[in-house]
Amino acid sequence: MLGRIDHVGIAVRDLDQAIQVYERRLGLRAIARERLEAEGIEVAMIPIGESRIELITPLSPASKVEKFLQDRGEAVHHVAYATDDVGAALAKAGAAGAQLLDEVARPGAHATRIGFVHPKSLCGVLTEFVEADGQPGA
């Protein structure tokens, strides 16, 4: 049901600066950037092999990512696994005892569908299921 690691989400304070760091120090290139007003975040995707790095910055003090940054500083925020069916992945995890943050799939960045599992259920790691958007590297 889970095909690969789709991306690793990294919370950052300054998205422009973080993009520059990844581009300058690792030679990677950000290819997509999107504001998710409903979530209070802006994200930039950086492809690497079959996966991506998602840099995430809060748009307001009320954002959950802002709280994360205050509590933990810049760090890995979540790991996202590619799946053909987010709803089924959530249902399977829930049936196995995982605490779900999303009961059903919802819209994500770049025309994806996503759902999250609470970090308490997976060794302290916020886990995201994501349905591919059909765009290679996007």
Which structural domains are found in the chain, ordered by start? 2-131 (3.10.180.10)
> How much is the pLDDT for 58?
98
Kindly tell me if the per-residue pLDDT of 128 is higher than 70.
Answer: yes
Kindly tell me if the per-residue pLDDT of 135 is higher than 90.
Answer: no
Instruction: Using pLDDT thresholds of 50, 70 and 90, give the confidence band for residue 138.
Output: very low
Q: Residue type at 53?
A: I
> How much is the pLDDT for 137?
42
Nearest to 115 by CA among 104, 123, 124: 104
> How much is the pLDDT for 136?
42
Q: At which residue do the structure tokens 């049936």 appear?
A: 95
Distance of CA 23 to the CA centre of its chain: 19
What are the pLDDT digits (tens) for 39-67? 999 999 999 999 999 999 999 999 999 99
Alpha-carbon dihedral 49, 52, 55, 58, rounded to 10 degrees: 180
> How much is the pLDDT for 24?
98
The whole-model pTM stands at 0.91
Average pLDDT, the chain: 94
Nearest to 55 by CA among 103, 16, 82, 25: 16
- Of the chain, the end-to-end C-alpha distance in Å amounts to 21
